[in-house]
Amino acid sequence: MFLILSCTIAVGTNFSQFICIGRFTAVSFQVLGHMKTILVLIMGFFFFGREGLNLHVVIGMIIAVVGMMWYGNASSKPGGKERWSLPTSKTESR
C-alpha cells in the first residue's frame, strides 16, 4: 500500500513540476521545491516516527515557511518581482 501511495505521489509531484516550470520564475520554482522538501520531512516524521526530529529541525522548517510566505507576499505586490531584478542594458543596433 505504501509503495503504491509513494509512486502516486511521485507521479503527481513530477506532473505538477512540469506544469509549474513554464509559469513561474526560477526563484518561485525553487521556493516551491523547498516547500515540497518540507512537506516530505513532515510526512516522514508523521508516518515513520520522530526519531530525527529535534529543535533545530523544527526551527529550520519554521524559518523556511516564514521565508516562503515573505517571498510570496513580496512578489505578489505590484512590481514585486521587477523591483529586485538587476538592470539590463538595452543596446540599439544602428
DSSP 83: H
> Phi/psi zone of residue 88: left (φ > 0), alpha (ψ -120 to 50 degrees), beta?
beta
81 near 75, Cβ under 8 Å?
yes
Task: Please name which of 38, 70, 71, 43 lies closest in space to residue 57, comparing C-alpha atoms.
Answer: 38
Tell me the average pLDDT across 37-48: 84
Q: pTM (2 decimals)?
A: 0.58
Mean pLDDT of the chain: 79
Tell me the average pLDDT across 5-33: 82
pLDDT at 42: 86
